[in-house]
Structure formats: structure tokens, C-alpha cells
Chains A and B, each alone.
Chain A
Amino acid sequence: MKRQLALLEFALGSLRRRRGRSVALVAALAAVTGLYASGVFVVDALRAEVASTVEAAPSLTVQRLVAGRPSLIDEGALSSLASDPAVRSVRGRVWGFFYASAIEANIVVVGGLASSSEDAAPAVVGHGLSQRLALHDGDRLALGSPDGPVRVQIADVRPGVTALHDTDVLETTPEAARRLLGVPAGQVVDVAVELSREEEASVVAERAIELVPGARVIERSAMVRAYDLTFDGRGGLLNALLIPCLAALLLLGWERFTGLGPEERKEIAVLKSCGWHTSDVLTCRIYESLVIALGGALLGLLGAYAYVFVLDAPGLASVLLGWSSLHGGLHLAPQIDAASILSLLALVVLPFVAIGVVPAWRAAASGRTS
């Protein structure tokens, strides 16, 4: 133990003597690890957000396609499905996108509230929408539609905790939604089918396609699989883009360590002439590389955490949110698992230690330094 501590102390002294190079390597490793970890953190948090709520989506959503695009469907087209014992409910939905020129954004209008006889239909608005239009409970709002202005009265504003799901949503009565979206009475945008037995989904989907030929049926289980594939694929793509950064850093490190300078050769020669074995030189070099690699990687991980979960990923959020002017932001909850952290550390630390040790071993073992 004492011997190992002495070797570690010598390795630290060696790092101090080459302070500039050590600091530069730690900074570069921290930057690469931080970039890589930021992508992993964001993707894992988004994946968990969807996974925790996807069960609340309808078991099946049936759309009618006309000319390759979703089109309106008769409200009663699938009503006979309700008699199926595997089906709990069949509900026609009126929803769609309403472009609000005042804020240059699409509002998701959902006709889900109970009908009202009031002059102004009740409406529940998402957090982001309420902030953009400075809306509060009781406020009235007139929205332009092809049939003249539609008046709604704000009955509730959704809290910020649900913003990732409904920040741009205006929920109102089906009648007001129909007027806003131009959906005629007797027709709906799609039909949501809730099943009491999920394993019957494919059978009920086939029956829906029989009732509405050419229908597009979206199964919840398919959505779950698709989200998994999407996040795996896109997250992997994001990380693959960073592999060249890591490769470039390792290549630079290899170049630097392979061409041992005269000072380092002299140091190894002096150590060997003092009785050091090749294994001692290697241990020293392993300690040097480990301190640099672990320090850089841990700094990168901490930086990535702060960047994503404390600062809400400025920059990366802009790329992700694109041109959107009304969005839920990236206020994500950490979903960090040990496997991700360990694989990140392994990806950075192991190759870095290897490229530091191999040239030193070749120099120490060849006897060229003596």
C-alpha cells in the first residue's frame, strides 16, 4: 500500500511538472464526456417522460385516410364496436391545430369539455398558452374562425408540471372546437377506442378496418415500441455524431504519448537506472492517465448534469425545439441509471488509460531509454 501511495505521489508530481498538458487533457476530456452525457441525459429523461404517461393514451386510435392524409370520419362509423366485450368505450374526437396569427403559433384545440349553454364556451388552457396570451381564470377570448369569432371563457389554467404534454392546448366544448376547426356536425377527426382487454387490440383493429375500409389504426402498444425505437435510434445518432470528437481526442493523446519527448525518456531512464522495474514505470503511467481520465470524465458528467437539469439545456433545447414558438420547454427530471454512467466512463477512461500506458510500456521495456 505504502509503495502504491509513493508511486501515486510520484505520478502526481509528474502531472504537476507538466501542468499545462495535464490541464488541457482534463478540459478536453471533460468537454467530450459532457457533450456525450448531455445527449444521454436528455434522451433518457424524454424517454421516461413518455413511458410514464403513454398508458393514458387511447388503446386504439382510428383515422380515415383520404388521398394519403387523415380525413374526417362519420361519428357513428365505429359505434358497432361498442358491443364487443373487449371494448370499453368508443369515442369520436374533435381536435386539431388552430393557427393563432397573434402569437404565430399552432394551438392544439381539443373538444373534450362538457357542452355549455353559455354565450362563451368554457375553456381550459395550457401553461405556455396562458403565459403567451396573458390569460387568467375568468378571462374571455375571441378566436377567429371561418364562421365568425368563437368566444371562450377561461375556466382553468393548467399547471406548469404538465407543460410537456399540454402547454399549447386549448380544451373547450366539442361545439366550440367544431366551429374553430371547421369540423361539421356528425363528423369527427378520429375515433378513440378504449379496450378492457389489451390483448384483443389487433382483433379490434381488424374489425375497425373492416368497418372503415382503408382506415389507419394506431395501437398504443405500437406507439410504445415506436417511441422506444425512436429514442434509441435518435439518441444513438446524436451520440454517434460525438464519436469523432472522442476519436480525435484519443488520436491526439496517442500521438502525444507515442512520441515520448527527450525529457520523458530521460525520466524513464533515470528511474530504471535507480532500480525501478518496468512494472513500476507502468504503474506510475497508469496512475497519471487514471487521474486525468477520471478527473475529466467526472467533471464532464457533473457539467452535463448541471447543463441539462439545472440550466435546462440552453442551446441543445434550441436545436430540439426548432422553430417552435409555443413549447413545453426542457424542464426535465433526471433519469440517470448506473449502467449509462458506467458505460460513459468506460468509453472515455479505458481507451485513454490504454493509449497512455502502451507507449510507456514500449519505451520502458525496449531499453532504448537506457
Chain B
Amino acid sequence: MRRLGLAALVMLALIVAMHVHGSARHSAWQDCVDERRSAVARVGFSDLALSSSARWLRAPSQTERSAPLSDGPIAFDTDPAGALLGPVEEAP
């Protein structure tokens, strides 16, 4: 029983540490939201710079839906990130 209490205490301490770390990182992130918005305004689109290997991955919101097919007809999806982000829908 004492061991269970000890394990529960260690777990609780880890959860508290996670909360403190998360709060600090989250507030730092909140503090620079204006800077990030200004970056988006300057770049002109809000797509994340997660991949620079293809235009439809770097700026999916600015790319036509058929871009992957246009750029590499009959090609396999050479980039695993292709499965994660797709181009956005167009306005009706």
C-alpha cells in the first residue's frame, strides 16, 4: 500500500510538472500571437511552414486541388506529408 501511495505521489508530481511546463509554454506562445499574426499578414497566407518540398504542401490554401496530380501525373505520393494536408475548398 505504501508503494502505491509513493507511486501515486510520483505520478501526481509529474502531472504537476507537466501542468507548470505546459502553462509556461502556452503563455509564452500567447504573448507572441501578435508577432505570428503579423508574419501571416506579411506572407499573405496562414499555411504552416511544415513542408517546403512541394507547393501544395507548403501553401495548401493557395494551391488548386489538382496540384499534386498536375505536378506529378501517375506519380506515387512521394512525400508522406501529402497524406496530412490537402488543398482547401474553393469558394462556391
B-contacting residues of A (Cβ < 8 Å)? 5, 8-9, 12, 46, 49-50, 52-58, 60-61, 63, 65, 68-70, 93, 95, 97, 105-108, 110, 112, 124, 126, 128, 158-159, 161-169, 171, 190, 192, 201-202, 205, 216-219, 222-223, 225-227, 230, 234, 237, 291, 295, 298-299, 302, 305-306, 309-310, 319-328, 330, 333-336
A-contacting residues of B (Cβ < 8 Å)? 1, 3-4, 7, 11, 14-15, 18, 21-22, 25-26, 28-29, 32-33, 35-46, 48-53, 55, 57-64, 66-67, 70, 78-86, 88-92
> Is there contact, CB below 8 Å, between B91 and A219?
yes
Q: Identify which of A97, A126, A205, A324 gathers the most chain B CB atoms within 10 Å of its CB.
A: A324
> Is there contact, CB below 8 Å, between B22 and A56?
no
Report which of B55, B57, B62, B80 forms a contact with A61, defined as CB distance below 8 A. B62
In the complex, chain A residues whose CB is within 8 Å of the CB of B41: 56-57
For the complex, what is the distance from the CA of A8 to the CA of B3, rounded to whole Å?
Answer: 12
In the complex, chain B residues whose CB is within 8 Å of the CB of A5: 1
In the complex, chain A residues whose CB is within 8 Å of the CB of B66: 68
Known A110-B43, A190-B62, A321-B81; judge A328-B88 contact (CB<8 A).
no
Report which of B11, B40, B78, B85 forms a contact with A53, defined as CB distance below 8 A. B40
Q: List 16 A-B contacts (CB under 8 A).
A: A46-B48, A57-B40, A57-B41, A58-B44, A158-B39, A161-B36, A162-B36, A166-B43, A227-B88, A305-B18, A309-B25, A319-B81, A322-B79, A327-B50, A327-B51, A333-B28
Pair count A-B, CB < 8 A? 215
For the complex, what is the distance from the CA of A334 to the CA of B55, rounded to whole Å?
Answer: 28
In the complex, chain A residues whose CB is within 8 Å of the CB of B81: 319-324
> Is there contact, CB below 8 Å, between B58 and A165?
no
Ranked nearest first, the 7 interchain pairs of A and B with the lowest CB-CB distance are A333-B29, A226-B88, A322-B81, A162-B39, A334-B22, A56-B37, A56-B40
Report which of A190, A227, A309, A330 forms a contact with B21, defined as CB distance below 8 A. A309
Known A68-B64, A162-B39, A333-B29; judge A225-B15 contact (CB<8 A).
no
Dominant secondary structure at the B interface: helix
> Is there contact, CB below 8 Å, between A97 and B58?
yes
For the complex, what is the distance from the CA of A324 to the CA of B38, rounded to whole Å?
Answer: 24
For the complex, what is the distance from the CA of A48 to the CA of B87, rounded to whole Å?
Answer: 19
For the complex, what is the distance from the CA of A234 to the CA of B50, rounded to whole Å?
Answer: 15
Question: Which residue of B is nearest A303, CB measured?
Answer: B14
